[in-house]
Amino acid sequence: MRIINTVSALRQAVAMARHQGGVVGLVPTMGALHEGHRSLVERARRECDFVVVSVFLNPTQFNNPDDLRTYPRTAEADAAMLQQCGVDVAFMPTVEEVYPEPDTRVFDLGPVAQVMEGAMRPGHFNGVCQIVSKLFDIVAPDRAYFGEKDYQQIAVIRAMVKQLGFKLEIVPCPCVREDDGLAKSSRNVRLTPVVRRVAPAIYRTLKESLNFAQDHTLEQTHDWVVATINAYPEMQVEYFSICDGNTLQPLAQWDDSHSIVGCITVYCGDVREIDNIRYK
């Protein structure tokens, strides 16, 4: 594995790999790698001839400076995991390397980017699109791998790919969970022991809502999920949206014609956790 810190060296490495033919895969990450990332990287390794993993804590997607300040940074352990997974290149640039000039691009990706995280974290998806489009431009991957925990992020990136005409396949990968069901996340290390003990109730409640939904309306199901999680004093639901799985627009009732997903964000103490479940 090569650790590359500059855009020009990365372009060169990818150009050489392309010259030899084969499929190029990209796994964009912000570091603090865990088993969820490992599953993306291992899948990329199985499916691609040349695998690039970017490890870059992208400042432009953080609308909350405290979140950026406290985000775990584990560069050495990240490099060791990627080496173990047998990736070809770990791209670990500085902020100045990626943004020699401020990135002033503004993306308008329509309704899919305006709800949920788009509404709660102004500028977040714009920052995600800035970095992901830069990476797509530099690496020109055939496939790019993203975790389904960030369900809306995948929809937004798909919209960006369509709008900018990138020729690549977005590969969504299943969420990886702790044994007790909590979705793996780099932010989990910030949960206090007390909050960590109750946090699995998020996914447990989402799963139980599949049964509840069998004989209740969409609105009743929504309210039941929110009330069940909010009954834990350590947790506060920020939003729960039962929405169309493609457009992400909220639905008013269960409807056979849609794929339906429930997307939730919960404050667990001061840590923001997101998760989702597919109803249909």
Residue from 131, 138, 225, 261 in contact with ligand PAF (CB under 6 A): 131
Q: Whose Cβ is closer to ligand PAF: residue 78's or residue 279's?
A: 78
Residue 37 annotated in active site: yes
The mark string for 223-262 relative to ligand PAF (x by CB under 6 A, - otherwise) is ----------------------------------------
Min dist CB 131 to ligand PAF, Å, is 5
Dig out the tokens for 126 from the structure.
């714009």
Q: Which of 19, 34, 37, 222 is catalytic?
A: 37
Binding mask 143-172 for ligand PAF (x = CB under 6 A): -------x--x-------------------
Binding status of residue 117 toward ligand PAF by CB under 6 A: no
Site string for ligand PAF, 11-30 (x = CB under 6 A): -----------------xxx
Considering beta carbons, is residue 29 or 228 the nearer one to ligand PAF?
Answer: 29
Out of 112, 132, 161, 206, the residue judged to bind ligand PAF by CB under 6 A: 132
Residue 263 backbone dihedrals phi, psi, to 5 degrees: -115, 130
Q: Residue 70 Cβ, how far from ligand PAF at the closest point, in Å?
A: 16
Q: Which residues bind ligand PAF (CB under 6 A)?
A: 28-30, 58, 61, 128, 131-132, 150, 153
